[in-house]
Structures are given as structure tokens and as C-alpha cells.
Structure 1
Amino acid sequence: MAKHTPQTMRGQFLEAFKTAYALRNVPLPKPSAPDDILIKVDAASYCHTDYVLAQGQMPGLPKAFPHIGCHEFAGTVVSHFDSPSSKASAFKEGDRVGVPGRAFHPCGSCFECQGSKDPVGRDEKGYSIYCPHSENNGLSKHGGFAEYAVVDARQLAPIPAALSAVETAPLMCAGITIYAALKRCQLEKGDRVGIIGAGGGLGHLGLQYGVKMGYKVHGVDAADAPLRLANGLNTGARIVDARFEKAVDIVQQLGAEDGKKDRGEMGLDAVIILPETQAAFDYGMALLKSHGKCVVVSFPEDGFHISARDVVFRDISIIGSLVGSNRVLREMLNFSAEHNVRAITKSISLPRLNGLVEEYHKGEGGKLVIDMAMTD
């Protein structure tokens, strides 16, 4: 361990479900396996999943209390295990890295790790972000709401010079999730895609990615603050207020633009569902033309009701999307740097994490980030 590294750190701990975070001083964690790397956390982003976990809505998680949350963070490499693997050795002390929560210590031998048929950027054999036996920073093991964290070198991505830690942290879950969902739409340039929930953490990034990928993007939301955020991005996407514009009217307008008369030819080629409401799901499905794709990212506790008629008579494909592989993660970061895709963020210091949670419940869109450089 580097000589300047302290022996203790501050961390924000959940000590029970449905309670506030508690700031505690604890010993520094240490790398315990060849792929382990100790990083100094520079920024940690708050995700909806952090709220779900804290409410006790993820069965079996966390494995124990007290628990440090956050599965989307960024930091700087501090030290390695005594005998590091080749993957770990590739990251040098001082390197800036992005950390998604998934796939800490995957088994390397299961169906997923040996090369499953994930169509969006499988990783090399022996590692998979879908490994059912792996740990997950911020969920099953400690995450980024602390000054230091132990991470797996295989899950990391180098941060491009154009991106700061605060800009990178939200991309480690929100960014990679919406980027991978867009790839699952399998669109061509000029195709139309709808982002349902366009003003939220994932949605406002999706607007930017979709436009920069060359798609005709329709962003849909139904609340004032997220709509203001989506409109304020000035991406060129069409922003729709679902409270006042019916899906059927939008479809008719698009049909008129294209000179189409048959319902099956009119509408969007794909939609991505981000909110957890049935109304949002139904609105997205109603926007699709025949043979379109509905990519579902949200997972409400009671699920969604799906019309068999949409699936059978309109040939709508309903596809789930969780996150992207490490290869796609690196692609997404480089794309973000090159095309100036950035999350709209509000930052706060680590001791004020509970205040950040209060901000989250206001539902004003964008992303909320702990910036470790901020003073108390």
C-alpha cells in the first residue's frame, strides 16, 4: 500500500432497512485476491437501485448490515494485491478508473462466464457481468459511498482524459444501461426511437446518445421538472408531454410525415421503457409500428401487463435489458468523451449523503453525485 494512504476511511453505512445513512470511520479495506485493486473513490453516484435496496425490496440484499451502498462510482488506483494478476497489473497506481457495481469475482466457469449468447458485446471467455455467482459492489458487498473501495480489475474501465470523475460516475450504471438498451434496439441511422422517461437519470443520457448515434429520438415524460430538463438539453430530439399528447396522435403525425396510411407502417421503430408504471409501458407500446422493438429496462414489483395482440398480430418484440459488458462499457465511455455526452448532475459532499437522498425524492431528473473533493 502506498505510504501516503491512511489506515482508516470514512464511509456512509446503511445499518438497517428504511433508515438514514450513518457516517462512520472504519479500517481501510485490503485487496485479498489477484484481481483486486484498492482505489480512492473520487465520485459516487446515487441510483434508483440504491433506494430500492435501502427499502428492503431486493430479496437477500444486502447480505449483511452495516452496508456501504453505491454501484456506480469512479476513482484512482492506489494499490494491488501482493501478487497481482495480469488484468490487475494493467492498471497502474494513479490511473483513473470507472467502476460499475456488477461482476466482482465472477466464477469464470458458469454458462455466462464461458460465453453465453448475449447479443450485446460479450466479454472474453472467463468473465461475464451476468455471472450469477459474482458479488456486486454496493449491493452484495461494499460499494462507493466511502473514501476507498476494493474493486475487481476485470470490471474496471479507464476514464478518458476528457471526462472528470463526477462526469464518469453516473455513466457506470445509468450511462451503460441506456447505451446498451439503445444497442439492443438494433436500429439503423435515421430510424425512430422513443425514450419513455426522457427526463430521468437514464433518459436524459439516452436522448443524447440516441441523437449522436444518428437516430430520430422522441423523448416522452409526464412531469414538469423532467420535461424541463429534457427540453433544456437542446439535443434536437422531439420532447413529448404524455399528459397532453396522445400516442395515437403522434403516430398519425408521423404517418403523415412519411406519407403512410396503414397503421402498421406508422410510428417508432423501437421504444425503451424506463418508468415503472403501466401507463408508461402502454404509451410506449402504442407508439410502435409493426415489427417494432420494446426494450424494457425497469422492473416494477408487480410487473407489466402485456397485450398478446401486440405480440402476435403486430409482431412486437419485447426485450429485457440490464447492463452492458465491460467491452461495451469502454465503448460507451469513449463515445461519451468523443461526442460530449454528459449527465446533468448535482453534487454534494460525502457527509451530506442523506441530503442527497432527499433531493432524489424531489424527482427533478438528472443524476445526484457524491463528489469526494467537496468539503463538509
Structure 2
Amino acid sequence: MASTLPEEMHGQFLDAFKKVYVLRSVSLPQLTSPHDILVKVDAASYCHTDAVLAEGLMPGFPYSFPHIGCHEFAGTVVAHFESPSLQASALKVGDKVGVPGRAFHPCGDCFECREPKDPVSQDEPGYSVYCPHAGNNGISKNGGFAEYAVVDARQLAPIPTSMTSVETAPLMCAGITIYAALKRCSLQPGQRVGIMGCGGGLGHLGLQYATKMGLEVLGIDNADGPLRLARSLNTGARIINANDETAEDIVKQLGKDDGKIDRGEIGLDAVIILPESQQAFDYGVKLLKDHGKCVVVSFPAKGFHISAHDVVFRDISIIGSLVGSNKILREMLEFSANNNVRAVTKSFPLAKLNELVEEYHKGCGGKLVIDLALDR
């Protein structure tokens, strides 16, 4: 490590499930692999997964306490391993990078790593976000709620010069996840997509991405705060309060708009399910025309009940979507920069992470971000 680096850093630690974060000083984390890079964290975004993990609802994670959360952050390269890999050496000290949670130290030779299987979000052989042996920043290992973090050079994406770290951090999970889900819809400009949970962290970014892709977009939510946020974006998407309009009513209106009466050809071409809600899932599937795609991003503990009738008689495809590869990550960042896609954020200093968590549970939508410049 560079001699100018401090010996200690501040980090926000979880010491047990269902507890508040505790700010304290610890030694700087060590680099142990040629792929390792030390970044000075500039911004760290709070994700729903952080809340789930803190409540003990992700079995087996974290592996041990105390634990530093956050798997979507951005920072500045400050040090390399003493003999860096080619991927690591391509990133210079001072470079600004975005850091997604997956995948830290993939094995490189398992079924997934040898030959990536995902046709939409494909990495080069030897590295896969689906590697079952990889770690995850902020989940299985320490993450971005600290002044410094060790990351894998193969995870990273350079931040476009037109974007700040605070703008980049939310895109490292929320952005890449909804962008990859839209790619899985395999739609052409002019086709229709619905986003269930359109005012949340992923949803409000999805409205922006989808409309900038030339799609006709319906955003659906049922809470006042997220609905206000979705409407304030002025993306041109049709924003629907699910409490006021049924899926059947919406489909009928789409049929009138198109001059069609056959139920099979009326509705959306694809829908993305973001809430952990069976009601949202059912609503979204009802919006689909026959042969439509339902892309599932959320994963409630009890799963979703799927109608065999919809799958068999309507040929509805149910597709899962996790995150995206490094290739898609970089594509997403460039798309965001070129099309002015940004998360609606509210910033807090690292010292006030617990206040951020309280704000998160109010459910107002958008993204909450730790901006470490506020502590310095």
C-alpha cells in the first residue's frame, strides 16, 4: 500500500441483527490478491438488501460480525497489490470507479466462470457474477459504509467524466439491476413495458431508462410518496395508482387505444416486478398480452404463486433477473451519462447513517446516499 495512506479508517459497523450501526475506527483493510484494489470511498448508496441483511432476513449473511454493509458505492483508486493483475494495473491511482457488490474474487474455473451462460449479461470467460464461490461487497464481506474498501478490479467500471460519485453509487446496484432487467425484456422501440414499483429506487431509474430506450412505459405503484416521485420525473411514462385503476381496466383502455378487441393481443409486451408482493405480481401478469414476458427482480421469502393457466394457455414467460455483468455495467453507465439518467437522491454524512436508515423506512422513494465529502 502507498505510504501516504492512514493506518486507520472510520467505518459504520453492524454488531448484530436488528441493531443500529456503530461508527468506530479500525485498521485499513489489506490487499491479498493481485486483483485487489484499495479505494477511498466517496459515496455509498443504501439498498433494500442492506435493510434485509440488517434484519437477519438473508440466511447465512453476513458470515460474521462486526460487519460493514453497502454493496453499491463509488470511490477513488488509492493503492494496488504489490504485483497487480493486468485488470488491476489498467486502473491508475486517482481513477474514479463505480463498485457493484458482485462478484468479489470469483473462482475463475467453475461451471459459471469457465463459460458464462447468460446471453444478455455475459462476462468474459474466467469471471462471472453468478460464480457460487465469489464473495459480495457489503454482504458476505465488508462494503462501502466506510472510508476505504478493498474491491476486485474485475468488478469495477470507470465513472464517466460527466457524472459524480454521488450520482454513480446508486447505479451500482439499483441502476445495473433495472437496466439488465429491461435488457432481458428483449423489446424494440415502440413496444410496451410495465414497471411495478415505479417510484422506488430501481423503479424511478427504470422509468428513465425505458423511456430513453424508446419504449412505451406504464409505471405502477400504490403509495403516495413513490407516486409523486415517479410523476415528478416527467419522463412521458403513464403513471398509474394501482389503488385507483385495475389491471383489467388498463388493458381495456390499451385495447381502445389500439382499436383491438381480442384479449390475447391487448396489453403489455413485458412487465418488470420490483415489489416483494404477490398482489403486485398478479397485477403485472394481468397487464400482459399473450406471449408476454414477466421479469422478476424481487425475491420474497415465500416466493410467488404463479398461475399455470397464464404460463400454459397464454404462453407467459417468467424470467428472473439478478444484476448485470461488468460489460453491461459499463454500458449502463455510458447510457446514463449520455441520456442524463440520474437517481433522485438525498445525501447524508457517514456519521449519520442511522438517520439515513430511519429516512429509508419512511418509504418516500428514490435513493439515499452516504456522501463522505460531508464528513471531510
- Scaled to the shorter chain, the TM-score interval is over 0.9
Contact 2:291 2:314 in 1 (8 A): yes
Report the CA distance between 1:302 and its aligned residue. 1.0
Aligned to 1:105: 105
Q: TM-score, normalised on structure 2?
A: 0.99
CA distance in 1, matches of 2:121, 2:174: 17
Report the CA distance between 1:102 and its aligned residue. 0.7
Q: Tell me the number of residue pairs that the alignment of Structure 1 and Structure 2 aligns.
A: 376
CA distance in 2, matches of 1:96, 1:274: 30
Contact 2:98 2:169 in 1 (8 A): yes
Give deviations 1:312-339, integer Å, cap 9, x for gaps. 0100000000000000000000000000
Contact 1:115 1:122 in 2 (8 A): no
Q: Secondary structure at the match of 2:111?
A: coil
Report the CA distance between 1:116 and its aligned residue. 3.1
CA distance in 1, matches of 2:200, 2:43: 20
Contact 2:225 2:364 in 1 (8 A): yes
Aligned to 1:311: 311
Contact 1:345 1:369 in 2 (8 A): yes
Report the CA distance between 1:46 and its aligned residue. 0.3
Report the CA distance between 1:31 and its aligned residue. 1.0
Letter matched to residue 80 of structure 1: H
Aligned to 1:246: 246
Report the CA distance between 1:259 and its aligned residue. 1.0
Q: How much identity, in percent, do the aligned residues show?
A: 74
Contact 1:104 1:136 in 2 (8 A): yes
> Which contiguous aligned blocks of 4+ residues in structure 1 show a shift greater than 3 angstroms?
none
CA distance in 2, matches of 1:147, 1:235: 36
Q: Secondary structure at the match of 2:374?
A: coil
Aligned to 1:119: 119
Contact 2:72 2:101 in 1 (8 A): yes
Contact 1:38 1:77 in 2 (8 A): yes
Structure 1 residues 324-363: aligned runs within 5 Å: 324-363=324-363
Structure 1 residues 158-307: aligned runs within 5 Å: 158-307=158-307
Contact 1:100 1:156 in 2 (8 A): yes
CA distance in 2, matches of 1:81, 1:2: 10
CA distance in 2, matches of 1:170, 1:119: 25
CA distance in 2, matches of 1:168, 1:73: 8
Letter matched to residue 46 of structure 1: Y
Aligned to 1:156: 156
Structure 1, unmatched stretches of 5+, are none
Aligned to 1:19: 19
Q: Secondary structure at the match of 1:39?
A: strand
Report the CA distance between 1:117 and its aligned residue. 2.0
Letter matched to residue 130 of structure 1: Y
CA distance in 2, matches of 1:116, 1:160: 27
Letter matched to residue 72 of structure 1: E
Letter matched to residue 45 of structure 1: S
Structure 2, unmatched stretches of 5+, are none
Report the CA distance between 1:215 and its aligned residue. 0.2
CA distance in 2, matches of 1:303, 1:27: 41
Contact 2:116 2:125 in 1 (8 A): no
Contact 1:11 1:146 in 2 (8 A): yes
CA distance in 2, matches of 1:67, 1:375: 21
Report the CA distance between 1:4 and its aligned residue. 3.0
Q: CA RMSD in A?
A: 0.8
CA distance in 2, matches of 1:34, 1:116: 22
Q: Secondary structure at the match of 1:112?
A: helix
Letter matched to residue 38 of structure 2: L
Structure 1 residues 3-18: aligned runs within 5 Å: 3-18=3-18
CA distance in 2, matches of 1:370, 1:66: 20
Q: Secondary structure at the match of 2:25?
A: strand
Aligned to 2:79: 79
Aligned to 1:375: 375
CA distance in 2, matches of 1:119, 1:255: 33
CA distance in 2, matches of 1:208, 1:4: 42
Q: Secondary structure at the match of 2:203?
A: helix
Letter matched to residue 179 of structure 1: Y
Aligned to 2:45: 45
